[in-house]
Structure 1
Amino acid sequence: MANTTPSPAPAPVKRPFGLRDKIGYMFGDFGNDFTFLLQSMFFMLFYTNVVGINPAHVGTLLLAARIVDGFTDVGMGIIVDKLPVKSGKDKFRRWIKYIMIPVAVASSLMYMSFVADFGSYTAKLVWMCATYFLWGSICYTAINIPYGSMASVISASPDDRSQLSVFRSTGGALAQMFIMAVMPMIVYSKNEAGQAILDGSKMTLGAVFCSVAAVICYLVCYFNVQERVHEGDNPADKKQEEKHSIGEMLKAVLTNRALGGLIAAALLLLLSSLFLLGMVGYIFLSYFNDGKLQTAGALAGLVPPLILIVLAPIMAKKWGKAEVATVAMLSAGAVFIIAWVLHIKIAWLWIVFYAVGSFCIAIFNYLVWAFITDVIDYQEVVSGYRDDATVYSVYSWARKLGQALAGGLTGWTLDWIGYDSDAAKAGAAQLPEVLDKLYMLANLLPGVGFVLVGLALWFLYPLKKKIVQVNVVELESRRAQVAAQQTPVSASGNATTDQANQQIPDSAPDNQSNGKNV
């Protein structure tokens, strides 16, 4: 009887990638943005207009928190990449189950209206800083890094990943639609003088509702997404992975040219778009004196881009993600610069410009998460190691830095133009010259920023359509070679029957690749 080489226990067969994964992944970002966008849109307004904190102090907190995130984000990425995972088990999905409750609780704590009654300004600052660090630097990091990295292991196909990116952005758009369209109707009211104000107690209830909704969304994600691209069980692969030290990992990631170009574009995008998002509340509340108009603005800016669920993958496949995003961002910049030149006084006309600009921004936003999976592939091509979570964590930190700079810039520029938070808290109107400068900030600065995003994508980001296709072919070739080397062979030179019987349908990504190459 011929001797055969024993084959390892096969990994569980996963169902093929499909709509269930895309919807599940969409709900993950729906959950993320119930707290992330709530913070982007209402955190500064709550602490300036309800609690009475100086805008510059809020901005300084946001910037300081991002410095801390430089350590917590990358640290979380390293933990996720280095923490042992049993054969066939999920590397990223498990973190959603562990962290969804803590991140929801931490978010709610940031908007407690009783903080406004603290007798000490210092006590108010301490509460603001402590709850923000708990949410942003610890809890949100611990769930967002694994969630974002998970896209690269749900499927190995670039087209599938583009669809995941679109569905993820759709989830974010749905959360943004609720927060921008529904929340203003809940949290804004008018005082006896007819001045629009933010109601602190209603803000607290709204924040708690968003936290509960976030947990529900995370549960939908957890139970509907599957990881299909797993690290291999070959002992030689594991030995090679152990030699890949943390220092080598960080060096490889930080010298990744594609990641550098994407980070530059992401910094400018987040700085510009979140600055705009932060200013929108002030524009409607102070410039147009009607906070509830924000609902109409949100719907105009968010509903038309939903067509991109269908169009974005088609455009990316035909022309390339980077090429499409470049044109979109240059167009967005032009729209907001024109709005500044016209100095619009009619709210509904400004909403039209805002809607057109938002549509252009959404094109990049709907595809941006597929950019990072292309960068992870590029990392594997040039270094031989994938380092999904570490690459994503560096990118995530850059996005958070853009968020912080946007928040800081919002606070500092409001202070610079003379925005009176005491008057806002008392329900009084701002001075006319302050309102004119407020309009300039909300249009010109984002417009210039969006133009710079387009230029960064074109000149600094190397992964245009042809290069992405070359990388995909290269990685498929490497995986095929590894699979051939790992196929157990009998004494007669034939693959064992057991191995032949463990094939997974062609529509599902390979589960048998080694840990280095997938």
Structure 2
Amino acid sequence: MADSVPPAPQLSWPARLRFASGDFACNLYWQSSSLFLFFYYTDVLHLAPQVAGLIAMLGSVWDGMADLLTGMWVERGRGSYARTVGLGAVPLGLAFPLLYLAPPFHGALFVGALLVAQFVFRSLYALVNIPYAAWSVRISSDSRDRAAIAGLRMVFGTVAVVVVSLATERISLAVSGSLTSTKGLLSAAAVFSLVATPVLLHVARGTPARAGSPRRDRPHASLRDGLRTLAANYAFVTLCAAMMCVAVATTMMTRSVLYYFTYIVHDESAGTTALALMGVAGGLTVPLWMVVRHRIGSRALWLGAVALATVASIAFALSDDGAAWRADLFLVTMQAALAAFSFVFWAMLPDTVEYGEYHGGVRVEALSFGVAAFLQKVSIGAATAITGFAYAAIGYAPQVPQTPHVLTGIRWIMVAAPIIGCILSARAMASNPLRRDTHRRIVATLAQRTDATPPA
């Protein structure tokens, strides 16, 4: 590969910040549904854990399909990412509170209405989030820009975690007098929509569509060629495999946090405080991970985060005595590792586009993000279903004192999943071919190919 082509000009920090702020808006929706919706189903709507798990799983699978279809549509139509984000922002904001609207039905109709709300919200979320994520490929071809943007997105995302964690129950209490009531959680969802919608509109209208990333003329790939290219893109495949393992581990752990604090610590509000502390930890460690990645590379950072998460999980399993501070310390440490995973994933995913183009001759952008999101959502859905059935298997029943057997089960669900998932992710990431400086050399070679190709 050639090294003579200089790197592309980098984006200004205001442009980076404006674009990355979209992750704050998206995560207001995502974190609320991730942290509170399953608990809302079991402890507010009083659904059986396995039923709640199945609803969440079907919603996540549908979400993944919507991501995939959106990626296919954008890839085939070469549509404007900015325009798609702008058009979807308002409908998404209107649809989000439907997740916390208790249907006036019973039995199968009740469950069916909850599924419909999931499908509507997740379809619109995919319509906004996939073009937004894929936009990071076109906004710059420089891996430094992409890493900086990924880090800033992580910071904005973790700010959203803190906001959702601290504000949800407080809004609910102010509106309804209860920390977790239907009316209160519905009001919190409405507030998040009112905040997120203008942020997404600002991103869509103010972010440069293609700053620092001149578009190369290339033949439009068919869906079949695009999927074949992704399947042969070893950097993409191994990155997604590592992400799926972490997604399962993260989901099973975070789904258990509120149950742990409610029934083991006996302080439900301490659970939301723990979630907020996790968000703060994630936000504070992202700048550190950005510096570490610059020094040792993305793969090494991922493997280091695996070691951190595994040690923290084992230490907590051996020392857990039900004290809130021990759980807080464990969760904060885990969130620091999870922030590293997320940062590396979003920093590396755009680079796999050029890796696939270099080796396969076909450039696949939005479809890459659609397929990656599909795999992530399927993993999350499967993990949520597994969590629901695991809680049913240990004998969990909502809003009653739990037996020692159930309490032990909650502990192990929260601790064992991160150990297994992180170790499996390390095996996948260790074989990823994107080493330090590999992407820069690939971009230089692709630019030389374009310069050497006469116009049609």
Paired residues of 2:53 and 2:388 also in contact (CA < 8 A): yes
Match of 2:167 among 182, 190, 211: 182
TM-score by length of 1: 0.81
Is 1:310 the equivalent of 2:287?
A: yes
Match of 1:42 among 32, 36, 41: 36
Paired residues of 2:172 and 2:184 also in contact (CA < 8 A): yes
Q: Which residue of 2 aligns with 1:371?
A: 348
Q: Which residue of 2 aligns with 1:294?
A: 271
Q: Aligned-pair RMSD on alpha carbons?
A: 2.4
When structure 1 is superposed on structure 2, of 303-312 and 367-376 the one drifting more is 303-312
Is 1:258 the equivalent of 2:235?
A: yes
Q: 1:361 to 1:474 in 2, by over 3 A?
A: closer
When structure 1 is superposed on structure 2, of 163-172 and 67-76 the one drifting more is 67-76
Q: Which residue of 2 aligns with 1:154?
A: 139
Q: CA deviation at 1:230?
A: 4.9
Q: CA deviation at 1:82?
A: 1.4
Q: 1:471 to 1:187 in 2, by over 3 A?
A: same
Match of 1:221 among 197, 203, 214: 203
**Aligned partner of residue 303 in structure 1, secondary structure:** helix
Which of the pair has more CA radius of gyration?
1
When structure 1 is superposed on structure 2, of 103-112 and 155-164 the one drifting more is 103-112
**Aligned partner of residue 284 in structure 2, secondary structure:** helix
Paired residues of 1:78 and 1:389 also in contact (CA < 8 A): yes
Paired residues of 1:376 and 1:386 also in contact (CA < 8 A): yes
Match of 1:463 among 409, 420, 434: 434
Map residues 425-444 of structure 1 onto 2, 5 A cutoff: 428-444=400-416
Structure 2 unaligned blocks of 5 or more: 1-8
CA distance in 1, matches of 2:402, 2:251: 23
TM-score by length of 2: 0.91
Is 1:454 the equivalent of 2:448?
A: no
Q: CA deviation at 1:147?
A: 0.8
CA distance in 1, matches of 2:344, 2:134: 15
Q: CA deviation at 1:80?
A: 0.6
Q: 1:56 to 1:33 in 2, by over 3 A?
A: same
**Aligned partner of residue 300 in structure 1, secondary structure:** helix
Q: CA deviation at 1:140?
A: 1.2
Is 1:280 the equivalent of 2:252?
A: no
Aligned residue type for 1:34: L
Is 1:340 the equivalent of 2:317?
A: yes
Q: Which residue of 2 aligns with 1:95?
A: 84
CA distance in 1, matches of 2:285, 2:21: 17
CA distance in 2, matches of 1:447, 1:72: 30
Q: Which residue of 2 aligns with 1:482?
A: 450
Paired residues of 1:25 and 1:167 also in contact (CA < 8 A): no
Is 1:107 the equivalent of 2:91?
A: no
Q: 1:221 to 1:84 in 2, by over 3 A?
A: closer
Q: Which residue of 1 aligns with 2:118?
A: 132
When structure 1 is superposed on structure 2, of 211-220 and 123-132 the one drifting more is 211-220
CA distance in 1, matches of 2:282, 2:185: 28
Paired residues of 1:269 and 1:449 also in contact (CA < 8 A): yes
CA distance in 2, matches of 1:264, 1:130: 30
Q: CA deviation at 1:201?
A: 1.3
Aligned residue type for 2:166: A
Q: Which residue of 1 aligns with 2:128?
A: 143
**Aligned partner of residue 462 in structure 1, secondary structure:** coil
CA distance in 2, matches of 1:283, 1:186: 22
CA distance in 1, matches of 2:274, 2:306: 20
**Aligned partner of residue 198 in structure 1, secondary structure:** coil
Q: Which residue of 1 aligns with 2:4?
A: none
Match of 1:123 among 105, 109, 123: 109
Aligned residue type for 2:384: G
CA distance in 2, matches of 1:66, 1:311: 32
Q: Which residue of 1 aligns with 2:68?
A: 74
